[in-house]
Amino acid sequence: MSAALPGKTIIGLTGNIAMGKSLALRLLQELGAFTIDADQVAHAVIRRGQPAHAAIVQTFGSCVLDAAGEIDRSKLGELVFAEPAALRQLEAITHPAVRRRIEALVRAAEADVVVIEAIKLLEGALREAVNAVWVVDAPPASQLSRLIEQRGMTKAQAQQRIAAQNSQADKLAAADVIIRNVGSLAEMRAQIQQAWQRLIAEHRPPVKPQPLPDES
């Protein structure tokens, strides 16, 4: 049970870009977890009228807006992934808003187990809210090919995105569970099921002893 968010067992799911976190999140949802994709939450908090929108426009200019006044994430990405200082500015704006939204979602969740998928899980306050850190890992060649084939990036764009990320090795060093995305879907599902069963056993509330019947 999380001390920061009591009443829930929380898995923090992380790993660098294109490692297979979304697949792992879906498999955990199938097992009964309430799942939160921090990237989707980040999309929500930068929409027009939402907490981070005005601050992003003020910081980076109207050049990041589309014709409807929404933030164009591809334009914003071109700016921040080319310049580490700009990425830090963006994270300083978005991370507090994302954290508040995630905490509200966790408190409202009916499931006992919540999974938060966040690429920057270990670098922020969410790290203190989770009971276990699960890291999805894949070979660098697979990571690069997924970005090119599945996300339509050029090789140079993919390499830039990978280089902008914090170390995958650091994530692996902090992991309670490592999910190796190197084989079939069935192999990945089996790893997740085994880790899930261990987590449930470790965090299951103790059974209170029942009073003996009165035999008098």
* Contacts of 162-166 spanning 24+ positions with Cβ under 8 A: 162/16, 162/17, 164/81, 164/84, 164/87, 165/16, 165/17, 165/119, 166/16, 166/120, 166/122, 166/123
pLDDT tens profile 8-43: 899 999 999 999 999 999 999 999 999 999 999 999
Specify if 109 maps to a domain: yes
Q: Kindly state whether residue 122 falls inside one of the protein's structural domains.
A: yes
Q: Which residue has the higher pLDDT, 78 or 28?
A: 28
Which tokens sit at 155?
A: 């090789």
Q: What does the pLDDT read at residue 208?
A: 58
CA geometry: angle at 123 spanning 8 and 133, to 5°? 40
Q: Is residue 209 in some structural domain?
A: no
32 DSSP assignment: T
Task: Please check whether residue 15 lies inside any domain of the structure.
Answer: yes
Q: Which residue has the tokens 């914003």?
A: 76
User: Are the C-beta atoms of 130 and 8 separated by less than 8 Å?
Assistant: no
Q: What is the pTM of this model?
A: 0.85
Q: How far apart are CA 130 and CA 4, in angstroms?
A: 8
State the total domains in the chain: 1
We report the CATH number of the domain holding residue 166 as 3.40.50.300
Domain around 64 = 9-203
1 within some domain: no
Q: Sign of dihedral through CA atoms 24, 25, 26, 27? A: positive
90-137 tens-digit pLDDT = 999 998 999 899 999 999 999 999 999 999 899 888 888 899 999 999
What does the block give as tokens for 87? 């990425």
Tokens of 158: 């993919």
Residue 165's SS3 state is coil
Average pLDDT, the chain: 90
CA of 124: how far to CAs of 91, 92, 169, 176, in Å?
A: 10, 10, 17, 17
User: Does some domain include residue 72?
Assistant: yes
3 domain-assigned: no
CB distance 53 to 46 below 8 Å: yes
64 falls within a domain: yes
Q: pLDDT, tens digit, for every residue of 129-162? A: 899 999 999 999 999 999 999 999 999 999 988 9
